[in-house]
Structure 1
Amino acid sequence: MTVPSEYELGFEQGIWLTQEAHDRLKAELDQLVANRPAMAAEINARREEGDLEKNSGYHAAKDEQGTQEGRIRQLSHILHWANVGDAPTEATHAATGTVITIRLQGDDNTEKFLLGSREFAGITDLTVHSPTSALGAAVLGSAPGATVTYQVPNGRDITVDVVAVERFAP
């Protein structure tokens, strides 16, 4: 079973972002958009160097432009669908913006992660799982004490116990 990414789902349910994360993504988007004229000038300069078939500088510049345009589309999509605000004040069940502690059944070790956007990876030491990931979708809505099963990409079923749900404090 393949779980679609947040981008494939189109964020119809929205995605939670702190104001800090929103501002950071908006600044990145603004910088990339402002860089478009410089990128176009670089491509034109490389084009004038001659034979485009053998011009590695031209192809590198076009590849970089494609990467930047992809990120611009991604950031625009995220910001369009973003629900900006604080993390939930009460954490009685697993929801976007909460920290979940789970334990693999038959194991004493626990794992703690943030249920949210991968855009949070830069502001927390916690592992971040999307609510649309296999694990995220399985625990979404669960309360401490719940047992959930999800399927990993190799087709194996994993069963975990939800040990705790806490408010995320960046």
Structure 2
Amino acid sequence: MNKVPMTVQGEAALRTELEHLKKTERPRITQAIAEAREHGDLKENAEYHAAREQQSFVEGRIMDIEDKLSHAQVIDVTRLPRTGKVLFGTTVALINTESDDTVTYRIVGDDEADVKQNLISVSSPIARALIGKEEGDVVVVRAPGGDIEYEIDEVRHV
């Protein structure tokens, strides 16, 4: 399987979540199942079924995180050469050429993306348009609502 790019912070967040699920949630759910079993008939025991559903979700999430970490290619942008080009992990300040609005995005892995925090996926249309470009370049982003033209104002390797 292909390696999936991920920032150092993204990997740390996944490892923290994995540890929490294994060390806190698993034992809590196991205890809840044991307590529900003590109440008798399992067919009509809502607490038991809810705990089993939680257990299924947590085990699925653990497997998902372990799979992502096993295929992760962790990229530390602070160790990359400062080329001035937009790369995975860089922070990019953009100016909309029509409205002069400015926006800043950091290009991260798919699992780390959060538009509300200005973290965009490396596979998003805007990131694909920006990768490899430099400060001062003008890029056209093909968006569902139409093309948007941005000028790259600043590229930071943070």
What range describes the TM-score normalised by the shorter chain of this pair? 0.7 to 0.9
Q: CA RMSD in A?
A: 2.9
Paired residues, what number? 152
Distance in 2 (CA, whole Å) between partners of 1:56 and 1:105 is: 57
Q: 1:104 to 1:45 in 2, by over 3 A?
A: same
Quote the offset at 1:86 in angstroms. 4.0
Deviations 1:36-78 (A, max 9, x none): 3442332233244244454332232223223322331332133
Take 1:77 and 1:165, find their aligned partners in 2: how far apart are those partners? 35
Q: Structure 1: any 5+ residue segments left out of the alignment?
A: 1-9
Query: Structure 2 stretches of 5 or more lacking a match?
Result: none
Listed as ranges, the matches of 1:102-121 within 5 Å are 102-117=94-109, 118-119=111-112
Q: Distance in 2 between matches of 1:167 and 1:78?
A: 27
For residues 43 and 14 of structure 2, the distance between their equivalents in structure 1, rounded to whole angstroms, comes to 36
Q: When the two structures are superposed, what TM-score results if normalisation uses the length of structure 2?
A: 0.74
1:151 alignment counterpart: 143
- Give the distance between the partners of 1:162 and 1:52, measured in 2 at CA: 62
Secondary structure at the counterpart of residue 86 of structure 2: coil
Q: Distance in 1 between matches of 2:65 and 2:130?
A: 26
Mapped to 1, the partners of 2:44 and 2:126 lie a distance apart of: 47
Cα distance in 2, alignment partners of residues 13 and 148 from structure 1: 28
Deviation at 1:13, TM superposition (A): 4.4
Percent identity, please. Answer: 22
For residues 22-61 of structure 1, the aligned pairs below 5 Å read 22-35=11-24, 36-61=26-51
User: How high is the TM-score relative to the length of structure 1?
Assistant: 0.70
Match of 1:100 among 52, 71, 92: 92
Match of 2:120 in 1: 129
Structure 2: distance between partners of 1:165 and 1:77: 35
